[in-house]
């Protein structure tokens, strides 16, 4: 007799192990049939062959064979926790969102932190953006604030997202590098995409190698709208501030930690929560009106720009505490489906072209990843408020309408009806203009905020940025890519560009990049031309 995981195993006459239930229920198949022997398949004689009649064996292997689902196309590696959000004050003068109507209101949340580029099994401390996705289970539907730990993004238009992600991910012929940006395809794309320069400064900074999830800020990135009961709208940017402050590791530490403990960030969150050390963030809002938007130096719809907190101090509106790990990683952290389009009444979108594209992409991708339009039936995705609709059927339907009525209006006086007073209404804007594919002039300045960020860093932090750029670009085999990047850096900060160039062995500086020119057309001196062409 032996004990394994509270089960008693006994050895049979032939030496085989048998598992018998002790204090647990009897083992059954998925059909509920009690199982007599889960250790030995049904065979002819003692040594086989095996019999196809063995339905328990076939069901067990069948289910195992189908355990994997596609990993997320981005943000595949992540780790989540349950918690709650506590509203500080009534914001009904700004929004009718139910979550912001009562001081002290408690709303359950689930948060998933992630890296972007690496696969599900990659290491935690890659130099990368961190996802910071929060699902609020409000009394008027789920609100997903699907943010990052960096306040800006690489691109201005969603149509560029597949190119950007293809360039970040492993190169298609060699399938490496797996979880880092240091490769030709990535830097080629970046050097040809001047709008990414602000984001690149953040990615090369210490922000991209956080000490743990608990020491990170979070940002909704885009401008959203709050809408009150009279359809008056206020623009808003959402920010999360960690109670523990910000901390990062050094690159040398990151490299060692990844080797020694690829689960460093997971372990940190797990240990903190299991030991009662609950991490906490404050939700803040930068609020502004159309006059502010018109007078601000940049376009508030451009997701490669932020609004400095010195110019627009954020208003603290609540706090979030993470206090419970999931019971099951797959059921909760893996199957949670965040979607930017999940907004309750009182929260609305701006016309940011990246946000508009995301609002299509997330719903689309969940069908592929979770395999059924009924993914909202999974407990982690289902609203925790009452819900009623006439959607039916499809794979794995669990909430089909009851009875005769599955449409409306109907003559039976039954079933849910829309309610113009309570329902989500889009803020009534009046967009005008020709139908065209054009990037607005107000999106054109790609360097000023990159410079502002670089110059806001302390000398040590600036050195880290220079070291990161040098390390990353030194991995690029094609000299032209390095030169193009140095041309951009010259527009950001000449001294930084010169230091990076020197470390890379580029001794004749290129002309500063002209964001208005296609980057392929970079004019080069004869000496650089020889270097660039190898």
Any contact of residue 118 with ligand HEM (CB under 6 A)? no
Collapsing DSSP to helix, strand or coil, 115 comes out as strand
CB closer to ligand HEM out of 279 and 479:
279
Asked whether residue 161 is marked as a ligand-binding residue, the answer is yes
Any contact of residue 73 with ligand HEM (CB under 6 A)? yes
Asked whether residue 454 is marked as a ligand-binding residue, the answer is no
Residue 429 beta carbon to ligand HEM: minimum distance, rounded to whole angstroms: 21
DSSP for 246-269, please give it.
--B--HHHHHHHHHH-TTHHHHHH
Among 29-37, 360-368, 392-400, 511-519, which window interacts with ligand HEM (CB under 6 A)? 360-368
Which residues, including other chains, have CB under 8 Å from residue 384's CB and lie 6 or more apart?
A: 108, 137
Alpha-carbon distance of 445 to 9, in angstroms, equals 70
Candidates 91, 97, 109, 158: give the one binding ligand HEM (CB under 6 A).
158
Residue 403 beta carbon to ligand HEM: minimum distance, rounded to whole angstroms: 34
Asked whether residue 369 is marked as a ligand-binding residue, the answer is yes
Residue reference for tokens 């003559």: 411
What the block records as the tokens of 195 is 């709008």
How many Cα atoms sit within 13 Å of 272 on the Cβ side?
A: 20
Site for ligand HEM in 76-105 (CB under 6 A): 78
Candidates 7, 365, 442, 470: give the one binding ligand HEM (CB under 6 A).
365
Candidates 190, 203, 221, 501: give the one binding ligand HEM (CB under 6 A).
221
Candidates 83, 118, 147, 344: give the one binding ligand HEM (CB under 6 A).
147
DSSP for 123-178, please give it.
-TT-SS-EEEEEEEEETTEEEEEEEESSSS-S-SSGGGHHHHHHHHSPPTTT----
CB atoms under 10 Å from CB of 119, counted, come to 14
Alpha-carbon distance of 401 to 393, in angstroms, equals 9
CB closer to ligand HEM out of 123 and 240:
240
Residue 76 beta carbon to ligand HEM: minimum distance, rounded to whole angstroms: 8
Alpha-carbon distance of 302 to 354, in angstroms, equals 8
Among 175-183, 331-339, 458-466, 524-532, which window interacts with ligand HEM (CB under 6 A)? 331-339
CB closer to ligand HEM out of 73 and 382:
73
Phi and psi dihedrals of 511, rounded to 5?
-65, 145
CA distances to 71, 333, 363 from 120, in Å: 7, 12, 20
The site string for ligand HEM over 24-63 (x = CB under 6 A, - otherwise) reads ----------------------------------------
Among 166-174, 177-185, 357-365, 425-433, which window interacts with ligand HEM (CB under 6 A)? 357-365
Among 71-79, 99-107, 179-187, 247-255, which window interacts with ligand HEM (CB under 6 A)? 71-79
CA distances to 337, 342, 346, 397, 529 from 376, in Å: 8, 12, 22, 10, 56
Collapsing DSSP to helix, strand or coil, 2 comes out as strand
Any contact of residue 354 with ligand HEM (CB under 6 A)? yes
Alpha-carbon distance of 447 to 443, in angstroms, equals 11
Asked whether residue 362 is marked as a ligand-binding residue, the answer is yes
Residue nearest to ligand HEM (CB): 131
Q: Is the dihedral of CA 33, 37, 41, 44 positive or negative?
A: negative
Any contact of residue 161 with ligand HEM (CB under 6 A)? yes
CB closer to ligand HEM out of 91 and 336:
336
- Residue of 354, 234, 240 whose CA lies nearest to 304: 354
**Number of residues lying near ligand HEM (CB under 6 A):** 26
Q: Check if the beta carbon of residue 289 is closer than 8 Å to that of residue 340.
A: no
Candidates 79, 85, 143, 153: give the one binding ligand HEM (CB under 6 A).
153
Residue 412 beta carbon to ligand HEM: minimum distance, rounded to whole angstroms: 38
Active site residues: 75, 148
Any contact of residue 133 with ligand HEM (CB under 6 A)? yes
CB closer to ligand HEM out of 334 and 493:
334
Any contact of residue 322 with ligand HEM (CB under 6 A)? no
Alpha-carbon distance of 80 to 436, in angstroms, equals 41
What the block records as the tokens of 200 is 């690149």
Interface residues with ligand HEM (CB under 6 A)? 72-75, 78, 112, 114, 131, 133, 146-148, 153, 158, 161, 221, 336-338, 354, 357-358, 361-362, 365, 369
Tell me the binding residues. Answer: 72, 112, 161, 358, 362, 369
Tell me the binding residues for heme. Answer: 72, 112, 161, 358, 362, 369
């Amino acid at each position: 007799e032996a004990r394994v995981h509270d089960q008693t195993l006994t050895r049979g006459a032939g030496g085989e192990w048998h598992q018998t239930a002790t204090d647990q229920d009897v083992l059954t198949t998925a059909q509920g049939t009690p199982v007599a022997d889960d250790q030995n398949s049904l065979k002819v004689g003692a040594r086989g062959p095996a019999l196809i009649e063995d339905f328990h064996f076939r069901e067990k292997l069948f289910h195992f064979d189908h355990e994997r689902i596609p990993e997320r196309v981005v943000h595949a590696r992540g780790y989540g926790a349950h918690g709650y959000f506590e509203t500080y004050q009534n914001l009904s003068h700004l929004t009718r969102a139910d979550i912001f109507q009562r001081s002290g209101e408690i709303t359950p949340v689930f948060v998933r932190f992630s890296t972007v580029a690496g696969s599900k099994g990659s290491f935690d401390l890659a130099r990368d953006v961190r996802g910071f996705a929060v699902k609020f289970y409000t009394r008027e539907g789920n609100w997903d604030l699907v943010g990052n730990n960096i306040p800006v993004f690489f691109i201005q238009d969603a149509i560029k997202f597949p190119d950007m992600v293809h360039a970040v991910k492993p190169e298609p012929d060699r399938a490496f590098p797996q979880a880092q940006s240091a490769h030709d395809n990535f830097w080629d794309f970046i050097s040809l995409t001047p709008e990414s320069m602000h984001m690149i400064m953040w990615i090369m900074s210490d922000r991209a190698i956080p000490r743990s999830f608990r020491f990170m800020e979070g940002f909704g990135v885009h401008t959203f709208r709050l809408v009150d009961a009279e359809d008056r709208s206020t623009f808003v940017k959402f920010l999360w501030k960690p109670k523990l402050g910000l901390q990062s590791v050094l690159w040398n530490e990151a490299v060692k930690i990844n080797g020694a403990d690829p689960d460093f960030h997971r372990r940190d969150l797990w240990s903190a929560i299991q030991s009662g050390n609950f991490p906490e963030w404050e939700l803040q809002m930068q609020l502004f009106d159309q006059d502010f938007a018109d007078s601000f130096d940049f376009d508030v719809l451009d997701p490669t720009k932020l609004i400095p907190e010195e110019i627009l101090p954020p208003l603290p509106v609540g706090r979030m505490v993470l206090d419970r790990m999931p019971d099951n990683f797959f059921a909760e952290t893996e199957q949670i489906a965040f979607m930017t389009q999940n907004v309750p009444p009182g929260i609305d979108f701006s016309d940011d072209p990246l946000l508009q594209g995301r609002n299509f992409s997330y719903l689309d991708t969940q069908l592929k990843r979770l395999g059924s339009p009924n993914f909202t039936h999974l407990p982690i995705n289902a609203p925790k408020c009452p819900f009623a609709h006439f959607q039916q059927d499809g794979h794995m339907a669990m909430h089909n309408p009851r009875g005769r009525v599955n449409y409306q209006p109907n003559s039976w006086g039954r079933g849910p009806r829309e309610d113009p007073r309570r329902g989500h209404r889009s803020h009534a804007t009046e967009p005008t203009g020709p139908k065209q594919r054009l990037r607005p002039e107000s999106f054109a300045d790609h360097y000023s905020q990159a410079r502002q960020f670089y110059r806001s860093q302390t000398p040590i932090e600036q050195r880290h940025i220079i070291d990161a750029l040098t390390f990353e670009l030194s991995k690029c085999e094609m000299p032209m890519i390095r030169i193009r990047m140095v041309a951009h850096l010259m527009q950001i900060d000449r001294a930084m560009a010169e230091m990076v160039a020197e470390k890379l062995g580029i001794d004749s500086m290129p002309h500063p990049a002209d964001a208005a020119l296609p980057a392929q057309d970079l004019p080069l001196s004869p000496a650089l031309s020889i270097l660039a062409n190898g």
